[in-house]
């Protein structure tokens, strides 16, 4: 592990510190956001789902454009501006429910969600960009693995220490407010870390195209959309849309599903911490060799496992009572919840680090932030869709009081929470099937189609580590080969 942690400069660790402290807030906030909107702000299930959809729609819509802005103003200013927005929005959401009520409160929270979405979009985009700037082609693969490892440590602590800590100590309603106030403090720490960043220590600076022209964010945005490499990347990203819904379930659907199929004081944070715990351990064990495999195959395997994990939730709970040791429905639901988290975490462990590294590696050196921001296309569609769909499905199939019907057997499958998950599974499994079916379309006319095979041979022969080496040197060509 010591060897893995070495070889990175101060700025790399400052970027990861920002990611860690912001993660403590972000992951605890999104766990309770649905309950906050109903319990603290007064929205119905459907309205809460819709506002979650708006929030994530704002994030991904902003990510289409903030990348170009970040390319122009630089890493440090982008971090500072993003953290200021997050401080304002999180403090307001922690304080306003105690100062106002009714429509005034709901409109105010809607505005703060808009501000928080902009700050989140900018922070996510510039973090991935800065990681490329403060790593080099030799340590980039491990750098992105470390980033994902640290992010999941933050997510794990956010669930157990922050979410459950505040809700258990203060109660669900006051605990929700404390979580947002805590987020303000974390954003202030991130603001201080951003001031310590020295952009002169970049290991890989953006290249000037030699024209001497100062490009505006709009011009960069337009150029990116015209590039063949990005168009192929967008096609691939669109094919992952179905499975990306699964990545939004953990915060948009699961909290109310857990509380309404189990019991009201179910430990949301502890359960949500299982996923990052598994990923943290898995990354620590696999980060030094998983990058040696073909990146597209890993993405397909990760997507398939993520989709299949929903089958545990889609089958009737009574079926699992045939397993030795499971004697009642509560035990059956505990089993399917943990099994789903386990399989999904393995799929995410395989998929997410490779996805982030791949997009950053294939991006032209002068448009990294633009590529990272625009690569949010699947989530641009998945998050708002799941916001509105989850509101409808929860209100219809996982409403407050559904547990009593489940326990008495007075519920049909087509009216149960299990049917909700079968709908989500059908949508998710389309993604890996589509990627495999359209592989020829994705790779046609690629002059360097054999590059991944040659790269794998070179790595085995020379002991090279990290799949990012070749893409960093020839991003556009490798993008075609990997796709």
Residue 2 lies in a domain: no
Nearest to 55 by CA among 24, 29, 83: 29
pLDDT above 80 (res 293) = no
**What is the extent of the structural domain holding 136?**
11-199+218-482
pLDDT above 70 (res 218) = no
Give the pLDDT confidence score for residue 6 in this predicted structure. 61
Assigned token pair, 38: 């109903």
Mean pLDDT over residues 339-365, rounded? 78
Residue 3 lies in a domain: no
Q: What are phi and psi of 296, to 5 degrees?
A: -70, -40
Mean pLDDT over residues 34-49, rounded? 90
Residues 6+ apart with CB under 8 A from 129: 67, 70, 71, 75, 360, 368, 369, 372
pLDDT above 80 (res 294) = no
Q: Which CATH number covers residue 73?
A: 1.20.1250.20
Mean pLDDT over residues 47-68, rounded? 82
Residue 204 lies in a domain: no
Residue 83 lies in a domain: yes
Pure H helices in 171-240: 172-195, 217-226, 228-239
Number of domains in the chain: 1
Residue 260 lies in a domain: yes
C-alpha 225/C-alpha 461 separation (Å) is 38
Q: What is the pLDDT of residues 407-432, one digit of tens each?
A: 888 889 999 999 999 999 998 999 89
Nearest to 392 by CA among 412, 416, 420: 420
Residue 433 lies in a domain: yes
Residue 205 lies in a domain: no
Residue 368: pLDDT band (50, 70, 90) is low
Nearest to 118 by CA among 70, 82, 69: 82
C-alpha 272/C-alpha 24 separation (Å) is 13
What do you get for the CA distance between the two ends of the chain, in Å? 31
Residue 4 lies in a domain: no
Nearest to 44 by CA among 399, 386, 419, 401: 399
Give the pLDDT confidence score for residue 85 in this predicted structure. 97
Give the pLDDT confidence score for residue 4 in this predicted structure. 44
pLDDT above 50 (res 472) = no
Residues 6+ apart with CB under 8 A from 24: 154, 157, 158, 162, 182, 186
Q: Where are the beta strands (DSSP E) in 171-292?
A: none
Mean pLDDT over residues 280-306, rounded? 79
pTM for the full model?
A: 0.67
∠ CA(361), CA(68), CA(17), 5° rounding?
65
């Amino acid at each position: 592990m010591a060897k893995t942690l070495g070889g990175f400069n101060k700025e790399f660790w400052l970027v990861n510190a920002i990611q860690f402290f912001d993660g403590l807030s972000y992951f605890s906030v999104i766990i309770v956001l649905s309950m906050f909107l109903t319990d603290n702000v007064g929205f119905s299930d459907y309205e809460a789902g819709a506002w979650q959809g708006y929030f994530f729609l704002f994030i991904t819509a902003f990510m289409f454009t903030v990348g170009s802005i970040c390319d122009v103003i630089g890493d440090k200013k982008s971090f500072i501006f993003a953290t200021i927005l997050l401080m304002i929005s999180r403090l307001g959401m922690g304080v306003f429910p105690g100062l106002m009520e009714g429509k005034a409160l709901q409109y105010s929270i809607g505005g703060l969600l808009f501000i928080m979405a902009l700050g989140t979009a900018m922070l996510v985009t510039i973090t991935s960009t800065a990681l490329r700037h403060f790593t080099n082609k030799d340590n980039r693969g491990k750098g992105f693995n470390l980033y994902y490892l640290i992010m999941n440590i933050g997510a794990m602590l956010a669930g157990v220490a922050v979410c459950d800590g505040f809700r258990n100590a203060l109660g669900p309603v006051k605990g929700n407010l404390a979580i947002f106030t805590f987020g303000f403090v974390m954003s202030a720490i991130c603001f201080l870390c951003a001031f310590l960043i020295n952009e002169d220590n970049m290991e890989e600076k953006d290249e000037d195209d030699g024209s001497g022209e100062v490009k505006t964010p709009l011009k960069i945005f337009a150029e990116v959309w015209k590039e063949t490499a990005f168009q192929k990347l967008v096609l691939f990203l669109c094919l992952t849309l179905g499975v990306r819904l699964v990545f939004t379930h953990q915060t948009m659907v699961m909290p109310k599903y857990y509380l309404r199929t189990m019991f009201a004081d179910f430990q949301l944070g502890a359960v949500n911490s299982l996923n990052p715990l598994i990923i943290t351990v898995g990354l620590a064990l696999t980060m030094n060799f998983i990058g040696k495999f073909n990146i597209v195959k890993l993405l397909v395997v990760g997507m398939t496992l993520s989709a299949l994990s929903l089958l545990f939730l889609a089958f009737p709970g009574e079926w699992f009572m045939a397993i030795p040791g499971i004697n009642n429905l509560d035990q059956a639901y505990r089993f399917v919840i943990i099994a789903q988290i386990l399989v999904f975490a393995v799929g995410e462990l395989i998929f997410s680090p490779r996805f982030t590294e791949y997009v950053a590696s294939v991006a032209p050196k002068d448009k990294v932030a633009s590529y990272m921001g625009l690569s949010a296309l699947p989530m641009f569609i998945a998050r708002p869709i799941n916001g509105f769909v989850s509101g409808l499905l929860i209100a219809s199939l996982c409403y407050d009081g559904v547990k009593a019907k489940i326990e008495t057997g007075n519920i049909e499958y087509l009216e149960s929470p299990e049917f909700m998950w079968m709908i989500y599974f059908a949508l998710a499994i389309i993604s890996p099937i589509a990627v495999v079916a359209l592989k020829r379309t994705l790779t046609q006319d690629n002059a360097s189609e054999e590059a991944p095979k040659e790269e794998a041979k070179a790595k085995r022969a020379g002991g090279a580590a990290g799949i990012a080496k070749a893409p960093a040197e020839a991003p556009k060509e490798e993008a075609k080969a990997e796709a």
